[in-house]
Structure 1
Amino acid sequence: MRVRRFLYLGYTCTLLFLVRPAFSAPANADSLLLALKRHALRDTTRVKLLNQLGRAYFNRDADLVAAYAKEAMHLSDSLHYEEGSIRAARNLALVENSKGNLDKQMDMTLGALRLAEKAGLLHLAGILNNDIGNILIEQNNPAEALRYLKKSLFIKKRFHEQPEIAKSLNNIGSCYMQLEQLDSALCYLEASEEVKLRLHDQQGLGFTYENMGLIYIKRGMYQVALKYLQQSQEHFRTADYPPGLGKSWLNLAKVNTLLQHYVVAEQQLAEAARINASMKNARNEMIYYHYLAQLDSSRHNYIAALEHYNHFTDLKEKYFAVEKAKFIANTREKYESEKKQRENQLLKIEQHAHLSTIHQQRILMGVCALLLAILFVITIMLYRMYKRQQELYRQLNSKNEEVSSQNSIITAQNVTLGNLNQVKDKIFSVISHDLRSPLSILEGMLFLLRDKKMPTAQFQVFTDELWRDMKNTAYMMDNLLNWASSQMKGIRVKADDFEFTAIFKREFELLQALSRQKEVHLTHQFQQPVLVYADADMIKVVLRNLINNAIKFTPAGRGVHISGQVRNGFLEVCVQDHGIGIPERDQHKVFSNIYYSTPGTQHEKGCGLGLPLSRDFVELNNGRIWFQSRQGVGTSFYFTIPLAEEEGEPQEYPRVIQAGVTMDN
């Protein structure tokens, strides 16, 4: 069983290896090199030439590709040319692939993808998603690879790039074949075949027919498999692609062995050995001796079969010894890099803490000075009012009518001042009760630490709780400022089209630290981009309030899940928690102006403004908000946002059954 498992893995890796471009550089490599020598200007044209040369020499000289990519990245950074930097980063990542450093390639490709999405370079994002899918297949993770490959296919279809679409279809079929979902694999491979036939893509057709042949071998339909594998060999021969020819001889030998055409199989294995002698492919050499052992066993030549199988076992051990050494070296390098990053991060956190303390002290001094100034002004005003009142009393008998008129004016002004006083009272109430308490605790802890009355180790015990209190205080302050601004200045909605999933993920990542610190499982299902029409800043506040509230009222060990669906021209978002729920007697207060607030499961405080503010923001953006809650079971908050006019339903992919291995770069 172990041997079969190993052979399957080796077989899979070989197929993936063969998907890469031919070892010889493209015919236009020399012309590109000549153009680069003639172009002395350090501009974006030179960057493009460097990146194209890197792709042209990819399988010829990895060191030369790395040199071109580094020069392109340095020049792109100086020119602020984002597309050039991203393409150079992709070439460096592919160099790591050629060295077998898949983890390092994955990190670099993910970084390039984030830059492309941030810069709005959708075309590059499609290519990079395809690269990530290929890496995951090589890491034997086809289920995760499907997500990236289908996203890549969706983007490429928007740009109508037929060659790239054909590659993605082939790679998706390879994933399903690796997952043993053969019907789905054939569905995508046949779609890839149709596109490649229109494009006369000989090498691409070789990969597709090879996969089809392997599927029919799995199904036991050897005659059909033989037909497809012969077609694959013909296309590889037409494309002058030696790696494909070498692998096709091995596949044909396998299927002819199964068909008991032993003489033909022996000749085909000899051809495979001849090609591999010049290519020096360790994986193909292992497969050659394995298939030769199978052929000898089928002919009942068990002595030769044992000899060839032992040779295969020796090659396998040598190959995996090399792979293991590479893995250990890569792991050590990654560990050292992460260690340095952690040390740098700790230094930054410490520096930030010092700066934050100084900043808070300055703010406190400024607030005190401002309060003193306000008190002085109020005292002067009260004194002047007193003097004026004395004057009015002396003239009271002669000016009753004038006083009556002035009283009417003062009454009207009092109504306005009363409304403003409610805002002021709420602000001072929150500052004096809800904000002052965590700041006082932090001040006391810092005082004890500074005077060395508390050991640093003991202080670390309280840092998580202090951090959570300060984070809740920060969210409370944001809500307070937004509410005060809406009450005193009014709200202006700045609606525009924006991509909801990207904004949601940024807010989600910010709140993950808070959920982990509280041991609440925070999950979501947003993957596909959704274009909506609303004020992005307001929607951020709504997301932050609803998710923060869910974490606040969810005990440790339980979960919060955010989901969404497109319905009737709106995106409906649901924030569901498994927390303590809202008592039925208090549910009418949630969106009212009573400013209803209760402490969280770990005594987190709030000012009662978040949900009324969220209601106002959602309704101002032509949406609606509601909730469902059962005490002790949990609460689900829903709100809707209008979709942008051009936003359509996401593309549906065929429901899968089975699949597998070879992919296009």
Structure 2
Amino acid sequence: MLIYTPICKSFITYSGLNSYMMRICILFFIITQYHSVIAQQAVPLPAEIKKVVDDYIQKGNESEKIKEYNQASFYFHQAGNICWTHGLLENAIDLLKKSLEMTGRLSNLNGTSVLCTKIGLLYAETKNFENSLTYFLKSLDMARRMNRKSEIISSLLNIANSYNEIEKYNESVPFLVEAETLSKDIGDTKYLRNCYSLMTRVYDKVGDREKSTQYFNLFAAITKKIQQEEVSKKEDEARLMVDKANSKVLEVESIKNATEQELKEKKIELNEKQINLDKVEQISREQQMQIDLLNKEKELQKAIIHQQRLMRNVYLGIIITVLLISGLTYFGYEKIKKSNVLLNSKNIEISFQKDEIVKQAEDLRELNALKDKIFSIISHDLRSPLFSLIGMLNLAKDGYFSIEEQNQILSELSKNVEYNTELLENLLKWASSQMMDSSINSVCFDIHDIVRNKVNLYEKTAAQKGIKLENKVNVNTEVLADRDMIEVVMRNLITNAIKFSKEGDVVVISSKSQEGIITTCVADNGMGIPGEAIEKLFGKHVFSTRGTLNEKGTGLGLILCRDFIQLNGGRIWVESELYKGSKFFFTLPAKQII
């Protein structure tokens, strides 16, 4: 933990301290602190260091924009440390404050404590002790909340130092007393020495010479104790090194003795080998005579073997001829066998192709039927309302209707126009989905926003039927899909729910997330769907029924929903009970978190 100690002022001015040792200690501390301050004076940043700082700041700003506050805090912290190292104190304060802002958004107590301490030290270096007190007090609060006694002591000492700098000596006393108590609790003599040093100075400044002398004696005693402990530690380390050296000498001597013993054994072994070699030479002369005899026998054996080889070659020729004939016969058999396998494979492939052609023909018939139904819708459901609209407008233009009748007719015409608009939009979306080169534009978006927009759009229409719309989709429910397609799906499901609900009913849109899948539900407590009709809803044939107020439908909406959900890697289904309502579900992949 960092502790602020200003030059010279951290030592007392007590006139009775004229010992030679104390003068040496004070002189050494002044020299080291002077060089420390000189090293931290502001100098222009070298080009390569400035580039590093600018890079950290840029990365910090980018991380802040995408709400990566932990990374942003790290980059600003690094940039601030570099500026501090090179004496740019004001820049360092600004950057560390920015890092503190990012850390505060993460509720990171430890990071907040460290940054408050550093900012306090920087303000102390710039002689702005009022601000340094503010940040040291914040650091103390963080340390207390984390119950870290060492950091509490450091913060207490920093606060006491700052009060001393602004000559509020009495206000520093409670902090020093608490620091002394905690230092004793954890047995940290170095913290205790700092406490006694500051207390000596405080009581000297307020004119209490007795307490100043008392704390200086404690300071001198504990300093001596620390020095003795350090000397003892050095002696223990030196003793350990001597023990290791002695152990190494004993190890080398042991290796030397083992080597000498091994050499003696090798010498004995060589003598034994020389004796054995003499014996072997004697045996070799005897064996040479036997070898000559064996050579004679070997020549005789060669003649016998030559004759046997001739007979073997004859037999091998006969065997090879037989094997060659057998191989040719087997090769012919395998060739016929492979031809049969190839023929069977071709037959199976032809059979598969036939099944595929039959399936394609069936799909084509279904598409033709769907096309005929679409043309029927266009020619009847689209043309008839338009002709009716034209006729009504002509009659109204000629003055055949009263004002009351015109208002009633305008209401009917509005419904016809809304129906035609929905029909045209569904027809266009269906035609687009049937194009061979259609593709999806997958993006990450919040499905809550789409539901909110659709609820706002159809809230008035639902209210006219006495129906309430509720959006219970959680905010930030992000999915990966084609946004335009999902808007069409949500529009059709919500308008269907309104269409088949009665006065007093509620349409609820909700969602849940499980294992990377977002499941969305559009539920109503309206008419419900008969069991035999459920199977037709998502089929390849257009199926439509009238709503609770005899509203017409195109039958294309749910077909579009099925196609669009499948294109986006999901599935759609319905759960319904007659006269109790229906629930339409569809799934989409959730946004992948990196």
Give the TM-score normalised by structure 2.
0.39
User: Whose RCO is larger (CA < 8 A, sep 6+)?
Assistant: 1
Larger Rg computed on CA atoms = 2
